Every structure is written in C-alpha cells, then in structure tokens.
Amino acid sequence: MTLLDVSGLSVRAADGRPLVADLSFSVAGGERLGVIGESGSGKSLTTLAVLGLLPAGMTVTGSVVLAGTEIVGAPEKRLTAVRGRDAAVVFQEPLTALDPLMRVGRQIAGPLARRTGWKGSRLRRATFDALAQVRLPEPERIASAFPHEISGGQRQRVALAAALACEPALLIADEPTTALDVSVQAEMLDLIDTLVREREMAVLFVSHDLAVVAKVTDRVLVMKDGRAVEEGGVQDIVGAPREQYTRDLVASARTLESALDLRSTQ
Ligand SMILES: Nc1ncnc2c1ncn2[C@@H]1O[C@H](COP(=O)(O)OP(=O)(O)OP(=O)(O)O)[C@@H](O)[C@H]1O
C-alpha cells in the first residue's frame, strides 16, 4: 500500500525561482527509497515538503499525501498530528533537532509518553531501553546528560532514538551520517539499516553519496536541479545508469570506493 505519494510537487523561492519542479514519486509501506543528487538539487526541500516544514515565503504546489493526509496547504494542527506518528525525521546535524537546554532522557521520554501514555518508572525504563536500542552505552548516564555533554555520534543516535520513539511508519533521514567522523558513519548506517528492517519501517533516505544510499535502500530517485532525472532499483541504477548525470554519480562513487579499498589494503 502507498504510504507516501508525491505528485507534481513544485517549490518556488519567495522571488519565484523554481527550486523543486514537478516532482513525483511514491513510497510503499516498508519500502526504502533513496534520494540522491548533488548539492542544491532539491533533496532537502523535498523532505521538508513531506513534513510541511518548508520555510515561510516559499510557494508549494502539487500534492504530498502521507498516510492518507494531504500535507500541501494543511493547517498546522493537522501537520502536528502527522509529524512523529506517520513520519519522523533525522537531520544531518543532530544539534538542530535536539533542545540544547533539555536533558537527553526528557527528549526521548516526551515523544514516548505522547505515543504510549506511560509515566513514572515505566516511562523511565522505556526511555533507557530506547537509548540502549540505538546502541548507546550506559543509557542512564546518557539520559541525564545535556546534548553538548555527549559526542556528535552519540547525539545522532539520540536523535534517531527520538525519531524511532514515535514508531513512525516512515523514517526520513536527511544526510544522517554526513556530519559524523568516517569511523562513526559506518556504524550509524548499519544501525539505521538494522533498526528499520526490524521494525519494517519505510525509509526516505537522502544523501549526495550513492554508496551510502545503496547500503540502506532498495530503490533510488536521482535528482538534479529540482527535478527527477531517473528512478529505479539500486542494482539497476548502479549497474546500468541511463542518464549521463547518474553515470557521473556512479563513476564518482566507484572512484571513491576504490580509493578507500586501496587505502584499506595498504
Ligand atoms: N530558504 C531558502 N531560500 C531560498 N532558496 C533556498 C532555501 N533553501 C534552499 N534553497 C535553494 O533551493 C535549492 C535546493 O536546496 P536543497 O537544500 O533542497 O538542496 P540539496 O539537494 O538538499 O543540497 P544539499 O545536499 O547541499 O543540502 C538550492 O538551490 C538552494 O540554494
């Protein structure tokens, strides 16, 4: 069944400049779609449009139906009901998602309590469990820390735990590993991969890096200048890209991979 149906989505800047143009794609329940494209191709604006989070002043036309709710033009109250429950997002920089003045535990407990109605020791236990599930060591210590007191990799795990605490049908991950150290990136990817598979969650995974997207998704949408250039199974796109732009993305991902392989054998 279709969980997310984006149809003829266009986004314009306040000055009328087209930023996303006539974009259509869909994601079925449990499906994992990657969105790739170079910087400025409109990937982030597309994910923001799905959650009704586009900056004020931009004009949106077309349709975004998420779990049966039309997002384009929806009043804030309807959007609040959808966010978290139907789709939750992990951004590139976890500090933008976490409240710097609130202890980590409360930031997980809040969405958990809203979904389950739990309180007291039951809620506390569930909060520690949520932190343990994203493989954070010493969940009780992490829960009592403020975001600046833990590492960047740990913060991104906390942001993931907060998103998963709502058990959304769709997890949106916008460059979730780009800001992390290379050594931490692979662990984070593996974690996202494992957790969404276990929960049979759908994923919209945005990255400029085809190699990263290929690890986590089944299907890929390639974007350039706000438009869809091509779409297909990961194997097909990597093995037989049709468009020159995609061929270039595949070639640069290959060059990078082989450079990394060379380094690891030295
Ligand atoms: N608030 C804004 N006002 C005006 N233009 C914007 C705004 N945010 C983004 N844009 C423009 O919209 C286009 C698409 O941006 P978007 O952030 O979606 O690209 P992206 O593919 O996610 O790139 P990146 O990987 O660098 O984040 C770019 O040309 C960008 O300059």
Q: Among the atoms of ligand 1, which is closest to the Cα of residue 226? A: 14
Ligand 1: distance of its center to the CA of 113 in Å?
Answer: 34
Q: How far apart are the first and last CA of the chain?
A: 48
Return the CATH number at 70.
3.40.50.300
The band of 262, judged by pLDDT with boundaries at 50, 70 and 90, is low
Give residue 260's pLDDT band: very low, low, confident or very high (50, 70, 90): low
- Indicate the average pLDDT of the chain: 91
Q: Report DSSP state, residue 150.
A: S
Say whether pLDDT at 263 is over 60.
no
Q: 60 C-alpha vs ligand 1 centroid, how far in Å?
A: 14
Read off the pLDDT band of 261 (50, 70, 90): low
Under the banding of pLDDT at 50, 70 and 90, the label for residue 97 is confident
pLDDT at 89 over 60: yes
Average pLDDT (73-99) is 89
Per-residue pLDDT, 25? 97
* % of the chain beyond a pLDDT of 70: 96
Ligand 1: which residue has its CA nearest to atom 5?
13
Give me the mean pLDDT over the 87-95 stretch: 87
Pocket of ligand 1, candidates 11, 19, 59, 60: which has the most ligand atoms within 8 Å of its Cβ, to mutate? 19
pLDDT of residue 258: 64
CA distances 226 to 18, 28, 48, 133, Å, are 8, 22, 13, 36
For 250-265, b/e burial (b = at least 16 CB within 10 A) is beebeeeeeeeeeeee
pLDDT band at 185 (very low <50, low <70, confident <90, very high): confident
Mutate to test the pocket of ligand 1, among 10, 12, 38, 44 (most ligand atoms within 8 A of CB): 44
Q: Which domain holds residue 61?
A: 2-265
> At 93, is the pLDDT very low, low, confident or very high (cuts 50, 70, 90)?
confident
- What is the pLDDT, as a whole number, of residue 256? 64
Confidence label for 255 from pLDDT (cuts 50, 70 and 90)? confident
Residue 48 CA: which ligand 1 atom is closest? 18
- The per-residue b/e assignment along 31-57, b for 16 or more CB within 10 angstroms, e otherwise, is bbbbbbbeeebbbbbbbbbbbbebeee
Q: How far is the CA of 225 from the centre of ligand 1 (A)?
A: 10
Closest residue by Cα to atom 28, ligand 1, is 40
| Cα–Cα dist 84/123, whole Å | 18
Most ligand 1 atoms within 8 A of CB, residue of 23, 43, 206 to mutate = 43
- Whole-prediction pTM value? 0.90
Nearest alpha carbon, ligand 1 atom 4: 13
Q: What is the pLDDT of residue 251?
A: 86
Q: What percent of the chain has pLDDT over 90?
A: 71
pLDDT tens by residue, 102-150:
999 999 999 899 888 999 999 999 999 999 999 999 999 999 999 999 9
The predicted pLDDT at position 181 comes to: 82
Q: Name the closest-CA residue to atom 26, ligand 1.
A: 39
C-alpha span between 40 and 203 (Å, rounded): 21
What order do you get walking across the sheet with 59-66 strand by strand?
18-28, 2-12, 59-66, 69-70
Counted domains in the chain: 1
Closest by alpha carbon to 241, among 258, 220, 224?
Answer: 220
